[in-house]
Each structure stands twice: as C-alpha cells, then as structure tokens.
Amino acid sequence: MSLLEQLIDALRVLPGVGQKSAQRMAYHVLGRGREGGARLATALAEAVEKIGHCARCRDFSETPVCPTCASASRDAQTLCAVETPADRLAIEQATGYRGFYFVLQGRLSPLDGIGPRELGLDLLAARLAEGEVRELIIATNPTVEGEATAHYLAQIARQHGVRPSRPAHGLPLGGELEFVDRGTLSHAFGSRSEVE
Amino acid sequence: MSLLEQLIDALRVLPGVGQKSAQRMAYHVLGRGREGGARLATALAEAVEKIGHCARCRDFSETPVCPTCASASRDAQTLCAVETPADRLAIEQATGYRGFYFVLQGRLSPLDGIGPRELGLDLLAARLAEGEVRELIIATNPTVEGEATAHYLAQIARQHGVRPSRPAHGLPLGGELEFVDRGTLSHAFGSRSEVE
C-alpha cells in the first residue's frame, strides 16, 4: 500500500469520514496544507500518548488530576454527572455552573457490555461517600439509556444522602411550538408553571 | 493551550472540519480510537515528509517518477491533462484509459496568481515536444476557468502538432431530463447524434 493509500486509510478512523472525504483530506493536506498536516501529526501523536483520564472526574486530562478538579475556587457541594467530555464542555461553556463534574464516559448499556464498572460508578460512590457533595446534578442525555443511567445514579446519590437533580426538560428557547417533537411538547405542557 | 486544544485546533486544517467537528474528532480519537489516532499521526508525518511530485506528470508520488509514468505497458501516444490528482484517480478508476496523465495541480486563474508557470505548462510543452504524444485529452472541469485552461492547452497542443480533444459533454447517464441544468440540456440538444 502506498503512503498516500495508507494516509487515506488512516484518516477514516475519524468519525464521519468515509473513503471520499478521506481522499479529499489527504489531497488537501499534500496540496496546500503540508505545514498544517505536520502540525496535526505532532498534535495527534502527543495527545494520544500524553492525554489520560483525570483520577477525580474521569475527563480527559494531561495531568493526573485535571485543572477543573484541582481548582480551589469551585463549589465542592455540587457535582454534575455527564455522559461525555463534550457534554461537560457544553455545560461549562453555556452555563454559569461552578461546581465539579463527573464524566461517565458512556451510559449504562448492558447489551454493549457497559455496566456500572465501565462508567466508574464505584469512583462516583467513593466521591459521594467523602461527604462534601450535597447535590448531584444528573445531566445524562434524555434518551432511554440516558434516563436509565440517571435513575441508577439517583439511587446511588440517595444511598449517600446526596440530593439528586436533573436539568429541566421543556421547549427549547427560540424554538417554535409547531416544530417541537411530540414528547417534548407533551412534557412541557405537563410541567407548565404559573405566570407570576 | 492544552494538548487537547492543540489537537482540536490542528484538526481544523482538514477541509470541511470546523470547531465542532474537530472537537468531536478529538474526543473520538481519545475515547475509542487511540490506536487509529497513533496510526494516523504516523501516516500523516510520513506522507507530508516523503510524498513529493512526479517529475513526469506532477501527480503526488513517493518516488521521483510515479508508478503510472514508470509503467511500460501504457500507451505513450495519448496524454490526459487533469486539474487535480483526484480527477486523475476518478478517470483511472472509472474508465479504461491506458495512456499517461499530466496533473496541472490547478487551473489558470490570473486573479489568484496562477498562470502557465504554476501549472507546469513548460513541462507539458517539453513533454509534447518529445514527439511521442499524438493526442492530448484535455479533461479540465467544465467551469469558466477550466474552459479557459482547456483553450490554452489546446493551443499548446496544436503548436506541437498534437491533436487536442475533450471528453463529451451531455446528459449524465441515469439522470432525468427534468432535473438537468439548462446549460447542460441546451448543450446536449445542440450536440445530438442520429440514432442508428
């Protein structure tokens, strides 16, 4: 296999990249992006080698404990459990949340062999047992598996005397009623609140 | 900048990859594709370092002369000029063409500073002057700039007593008349051929 073919093949490891996109990417890098390509090669090699998981929150981290978990200025009484590092980043960027996080790196999915152990729930239980956390915000996705995971996490929280909570569900801001899916609309109607 | 941020930033060199996709790619590689990520890093570094241009056809090549140009079993009387390596690959894969190629690596575009020199047209002229080539198939894209380039290439061919030709334009196979663009339909009508 030629180097070009090897490159096209290797690019397909990226999500959403098929044969055709991989070809276009390879030609682009060789044609006008060699400097960027070399930088990407270095960044990839370093990231794969040096980025591990934070011992406290399981998020990706270059250091044994990630900067967020090492921060002294965050509120230790709230812990927010999310499925993925991307979810954590979205919450961190969009909200003013100043507590700590716990990244499950997945959701309960027995059929795929993903159980409590794979999600590091023993680590979560140990964290809650420390006694500092008062509220566990369970921000798993509103999917069947996400809800099942949330249910399980809520149980663990209650066992440790921690109050479990979930972000509100309802109509997205700026969305139009007409185009909202039926489940969301029905839920939003059921959870309506009085206008002050 | 953390290694993760560096990786996300570096991934944006790839065409069609914005901030959000780069983030998803980085998380995917770190989460479930570390082996593939390491392979991609190596493939990229090697490709960027070792792939140059073929001295005969200007296509990407690991060797001074690419395997196609070095082949003794191809027809030296036809040469096919294309804009990009991807065009060359498409023709090679779809047609039974067994002649040689010449890859312009672009098209005439004076506003972008791309003239005959940038397309290696001196190399093409020297190739035609060798006297072996009888026909130059000009497979540039049917865009304004591609047509201008084709016109220019045809002149060079005639100067060297080489017959210039272009692939046929018309209705795509399997296409429906109703959805074909007006220019193509009009051209196809003008170039209609008698049914035998």
What's the pLDDT at A170?
84
The verdict on a CB contact (< 8 Å) between B36 and A13 is: yes
User: What residue of B is the nearest CA neighbor of A15?
Assistant: B25
- Give the three-state DSSP class for B195: coil
Mean pLDDT, to the nearest integer, of A91-100?
A: 90
Q: What would the pLDDT profile of A164-187 be if each residue is shown by its tens digit?
A: 999 888 888 877 878 888 888 888
What's the pLDDT at B192?
81
φ, ψ for residue A138, nearest 5 deg: -95, 95
What's the pLDDT at A45?
95
What's the pLDDT at B100?
96
| Min Cα–Cα distance to chain B from A184, Å | 25
What's the pLDDT at A193?
79
How many structural domains comprise chain B?
A: 2
What's the pLDDT at B176?
82
Residue B183 inside a domain? The answer is: no
What's the pLDDT at B4?
93
- Among the partner-chain residues B3, B14, B40, the one whose CB lies closest to the CB of A13 is B40
Residue after which a domain boundary falls, among A30, A50, A70: A50
Residues A33 and A100 reside in one and the same domain: no
The verdict on a CB contact (< 8 Å) between B26 and A9 is: no
Ranges under pLDDT 50 in chain B: none
pTM: 0.79
Q: How many CA atoms lie within 13 A of B115 on its CB side?
A: 4
Instruction: Please name the amino acid found at residue B101.
Output: Y
Residues B43 and B104 reside in one and the same domain: no
Residue with tokens 């069609």: B16
What's the pLDDT at B60?
94
What's the pLDDT at B53?
94
Mutate to test the interface with B, among A14, A104, A112 (most CBs of B within 10 A): A14
φ, ψ for residue A13, nearest 5 deg: -70, -25
**A10 pLDDT band (50/70/90 cuts)?**
very high
Q: Are strands A60-61 and A52-53 parallel, antiparallel or unpaired?
A: antiparallel
CATH number at residue A71: 3.40.1360.10
The verdict on a CB contact (< 8 Å) between B44 and A10 is: yes
Residues B65 and B18 reside in one and the same domain: no
| Min Cα–Cα distance to chain B from A109, Å | 16
Residues B37 and B73 reside in one and the same domain: no
The verdict on a CB contact (< 8 Å) between B39 and A10 is: yes
Residues B77 and B32 reside in one and the same domain: no
Q: What would the pLDDT profile of A101-130 be if each residue is shown by its tens digit?
A: 999 999 999 898 999 999 999 999 999 999
Q: What number is the ipTM of this complex?
A: 0.81
**A154 pLDDT band (50/70/90 cuts)?**
very high
Inter-CA distances, B108 with B59, B102, B121, B152, Å: 17, 15, 10, 9
What's the pLDDT at B58?
95
Q: What would the pLDDT profile of A20-46 be if each residue is shown by its tens digit?
A: 999 999 999 998 889 999 999 999 999
| Min Cα–Cα distance to chain B from A116, Å | 18
Residue A148 inside a domain? The answer is: yes
| Min Cα–Cα distance to chain A from B104, Å | 12
DSSP letter at A19?
H
Residue A176 inside a domain? The answer is: no
**pLDDT beyond 90 at A138:** yes
d(CA B31, CA B10): 18
Residues A65 and A160 reside in one and the same domain: yes
The verdict on a CB contact (< 8 Å) between B29 and A44 is: yes
The verdict on a CB contact (< 8 Å) between B3 and A85 is: no
**pLDDT beyond 80 at A196:** no
- Among the partner-chain residues B4, B11, B86, the one whose CB lies closest to the CB of A27 is B86
What's the pLDDT at A14?
94
The verdict on a CB contact (< 8 Å) between B27 and A86 is: yes
d(CA A182, CA A167): 19
Strand partners, A103: A82
φ, ψ for residue A134, nearest 5 deg: -105, -35
What's the pLDDT at A104?
95
Structural domain boundaries, residue A30: 3-50
Q: What would the pLDDT profile of B122-170 be if each residue is shown by its tens digit?
A: 999 999 999 999 999 999 998 899 999 999 999 999 999 999 999 888 8
Residues A99 and A45 reside in one and the same domain: no
Residue A172 inside a domain? The answer is: no
| Min Cα–Cα distance to chain A from B97, Å | 21
Neighboring chain A residues of B29 at a CB cutoff of 8 Å = 13-14, 44, 47-48
